[in-house]
A and B are shown apart, each in its own frame.
Chain A
């Protein structure tokens, strides 16, 4: 079974630009979550999508948005990029109920550098 696929793996943008990251979950997984990981803040939850609906949201500004398609693939968008948005963005997929399964499966991440 293929794992969680994130594209692109690396991205360089400049301040003020916007960026779209893509995540393809494991086949059959309907929940997709996004996380931001930085050396200073560690890993922080952005949002979770399930059946095309945002089910949970972390404490990030509105510049961070996402969506999920009917095939469970998900995208996240960051508008008006700031230097502090430089981070590893991770996508994780899971079945609906974590108590029944082995937690989430993470992708390798997209490393975004904002110059």
Chain B
């Protein structure tokens, strides 16, 4: 059973920020929010993860609501190469047992 809910698809203009939402209303206290993406014919790529504070790295920012029931992945300046399926999952950090759902297919358009 899915622990996260994401919109099936989104479009974004090149150079603009892409904001990808994720709902995880049943998240447990020891579960982290992880984001991955997968470009066609490649393996998934880790993007970012967080517990309850907002996080930023060279790829993206992660905004987690105070109640931790939802989060938003922000790609600040989307490029055509960011076109991919983006997966939001919740998991205990030391546990590799994770399952991806359908994710959000992000299409960045020129």
B105 at the interface (CB under 8 A from A): no
Using Cβ atoms and an 8 Å threshold, which residues of chain B touch A109?
Answer: 42-43
Please report which residues of chain B, range 35-73, place their CB below 8 angstroms from some CB of chain A when the two chains form the complex.
36, 41-46, 49, 57
Asked if A103 and B46 sit within 8 Å, CB to CB, the answer is: yes
Tell me whether A58 and B97 are in contact in the complex, defined as CB-CB below 8 angstroms, given that A103-B34, A103-B49 are known contacts: yes
Q: Hey, which chain A residues are within 8 Å of B45, CB to CB? A: 106
- By beta carbon, the residue of chain B nearest A98 is B93
- Best-surrounded residue of B42, B46, B95 (most CB of chain A within 10 A): B46
Contact: B96 with A108, CB < 8 Å? no
Is residue B101 contacting chain A, with contact meaning CB distance below 8 A?
Answer: yes
Contact A4 B96 (CB under 8 A): no
- How many A residues touch B, CB cutoff 8 Å? 25
What is the predominant secondary structure among interface residues of chain A facing chain B? strand
Let me know if A104 and B46 touch, CB within 8 A. Answer: yes
**A107 within 8 Å of B (CB atoms):** yes
> Does A72 sit at the interface, judged by CB under 8 A?
no
Is chain B's binding surface mostly helix, strand, loop or mixed?
loop
Q: Does B109 belong to the interface (CB within 8 Å)?
A: no
Q: Are A42 and B100 in contact (CB under 8 A)?
A: yes
Evaluate contact between B94 and A108: CB separation under 8 angstroms.
no
Alpha-carbon distance A49/B23, docked complex (angstroms) = 31
CA distance A94 to B43 in the complex (A): 14
B96 to A: closest C-beta gap in Å? 4
Residues in chain A within 8 A of chain B (CB atoms): 4, 31, 33, 37, 42-45, 48, 56, 58, 90, 92, 94, 97-99, 102-109
Q: Apart from A92-B96, A99-B32, what are 16 other A-B pairs with CB-CB below 8 Å?
A: A33-B96, A42-B101, A43-B44, A43-B99, A48-B96, A48-B97, A56-B95, A94-B96, A97-B94, A98-B93, A98-B94, A98-B96, A102-B46, A106-B46, A107-B43, A108-B42
